[in-house]
Structure formats: structure tokens, C-alpha cells
Amino acid sequence: MAIFLNKLFKIISILIIFHIIEVYARGPVYKPPDVERLTDRFNQLPVNQSYNVSFGGSNIHVTDSGTNADLSLDKFTGSGLVSKNNYYYGFFNAALKLPAGFTSGVVVAFYVINAPKCIHISNTSDSNSPNFQLSNADIYPHNHDEIDIELLGHEKRREWVLQTNMYGNGSVSTGREEKFYLWFDPTQTFHDYTILWNNHHILFLVDNIPVREVIHNNAISSVYPTKAMSVYTTIWDGSEWATRGGKYPVDYKFAPFVVTMRGIEMEGCVSNQKDKARSCLKSNASSTDFVDGEQFAKLTSQQRMGLEWARRKHMFYSYCQDKNRYKVLPQECNA
């Protein structure tokens, strides 16, 4: 009996040691503060109602009666969706479950930018780097606007990095990246990634926790996004830039890499493309100016605490601290 207990103790000790090593390798885990769930204020939309195919249609599969979409990357192509509408400002959310395993070089993006021609998604599961991004590069090739959430696969197993960025009026020569470690494993379940963009500020949120705020002030007004943009969700091969200059490229023996999306929310000022002048149409029953109103003009004290927590505990890079990159820091860094 003593021998059995001794062996059992050794096994448990080894398991504990391995667990400690794994936790240490992934960095410290912190419990996020409680914040208001902004995502609860908006209605969720089906994939087919909110998105069209941007590219890689054969790698996009809509499931669960249109509520979920699987986007995959293989050695032939990545895949992407683009919103049916263009927006002058808005609240945009996607709940994503990221690929597990070795994902170095894989980029999943959620962003805002202008849309190319698209094809319609059928309401079936066999419709032909998630990256969440807003942009209008196709309509304004030399002075486009863009707001990015990019999730970067890492050479370490199950580890992902969150990168945020913003361009206005084609200011691509000035990277405004900020990078964060996540406080959870994004491959185990769905987590919300959100962009709030209006005339007051741009907010990047993860599970409703603000991680970055870009305030619309005089220092940044010349490069603040103001033109109509579309919402994209994509997954693609970013080996050349996302992995220390290509040191750890995508290893396609682990393909396909699949990101699953649900929890789609899009509410804001919809561009009337038939009218060259700026105009706003209601995207649903709520007020067109709701997202640009007082409720979304400033952070609450609770949200401010969440922002400070995220930046203190999890941010590991900000362009405003990169004096090697910029001999003179961008004007907004000193505002």
C-alpha cells in the first residue's frame, strides 16, 4: 500500500509540475474586472443577413441555420467575409473561437475597410488569420481608412497575440500598433472581439473589456477615420510579417486552420451608396445616432478601470513607446 501511495504521489507531483510549467509558459493569468456588457445592448445577426463572401468561398461554411460560420486556411487559400453594408461609424462585434495547435503565421482579423465585389452566401453549410478589420482601401486606394483587430498565431502551442491598429487618410507609413497577451485560451471557447467607432473615439474591446481607446482630438484628427467603411472577418497566411520576419511560417501539415464565428453585431450609420453626399440610414429599429450619442461618447468609470487593467497587465507593445522606430513620436503620443 505504501509503495502504491508513493507512486501515486510521484504521478500527481509530476502532473502538478507540468501544469505549473504550462501556466508559466503562457504567462500570468489575471481575472478581468467586471464591466458592463455592451454586446448585450445590440441584436445578434445571422451570417447570411450581415455578410457576403469576400474571398475563399470554398473555405467558408455556414452552419447552425446561419448563426455560425467556419472560415478556414489551407495551403491553397484563406477565406474572408465582408459586410453587406458600409458604415460611417458603428458598433461591430464577432464572437470567435480560434484554431488550436501550432498556428504560427496564421492571422485572424476583424477590421473595417472598403469592400471589393462579393458573392452571395447561400443558406447552407456547403457555401462556397481570423482578421476583424474596418477599411475602405478599395474605394480610396491612396488615402484609405482602416481599423484593425488582428489575432496572430504564435510559435508556442495555443498562444495567440492580439494586435490593434488604425490608419486614417492613407497614413500607413505610421504604424499605430499596440499588442496584448490574452488572459484566456482563445481556442477553447468563443470570446467577443469588438470595435466601437464614432465621432468621439475608437474603442477596441475583448469580452467587453476595453483594451485601447483612440480619442478623437486635435492631435489625431488628420488621421482619424471618417470615410465609410465595410467590416471584414478573415483568416490568412501572414508568415512574411507576423512571425518575426518569417522566422516561423505557417506549417501546413497542421492545416486546415479553422476559426468559427458567431455573435455578429453591426449597428451604426449605414452609408447610402446611391447618394454621393454623406447620409445615414437605420441599420435596424434603433436610432441611427444611438452609437454616436452620449451613451457611447466616453468611458464609464468601470470601463476606465477595465482599460487600465488590460493595459497594465496585458499590453506588451505600444508604438508610442517605440523610440527606436520613431525618432519623433507621432503627435498623438504626446497629447
224: cell is 482619424
The answer to whether 69 touches 81, Cβ cutoff 8 Å, is yes
Q: How far apart are CA 108 and CA 191, in angstroms?
A: 13
Q: How far apart are CA 174 and CA 177, in angstroms?
A: 9
The answer to whether 104 touches 155, Cβ cutoff 8 Å, is yes
- What does the DSSP assignment read for 64-116? GGGTEEEEEE-SS--EEEEESS-EEEEEEEEEEEPPPS--TTEEEEEEEE---
260: cell is 468559427
Q: Is 277 helix (H, G, I), strand (E, B) or coil?
A: coil
Amino acid at 119: I
User: How far apart, in Å, are the Cα atoms of 54 and each of 45, 90, 99, 253?
Assistant: 18, 21, 20, 26
Q: How far apart are CA 234 and CA 144, in angstroms?
A: 19
* Long-range CB contacts for residues 58-65, cutoff 8 Å, separation at least 24: 58/128, 59/256, 60/121, 60/127, 60/128, 61/125, 61/126, 61/127, 62/121, 62/122, 62/123, 62/124, 62/125, 62/127, 63/125, 64/262
Q: How many CA atoms lie within 13 A of 121 on its CB side?
A: 33
- What does the DSSP assignment read for 126-148? T----EEEEE-TTTSSSS--EEE
DSSP H helices, the chain, are 2-25, 47-50, 239-242, 301-313
Residues carrying an active site annotation: 146, 150
The answer to whether 60 touches 81, Cβ cutoff 8 Å, is yes
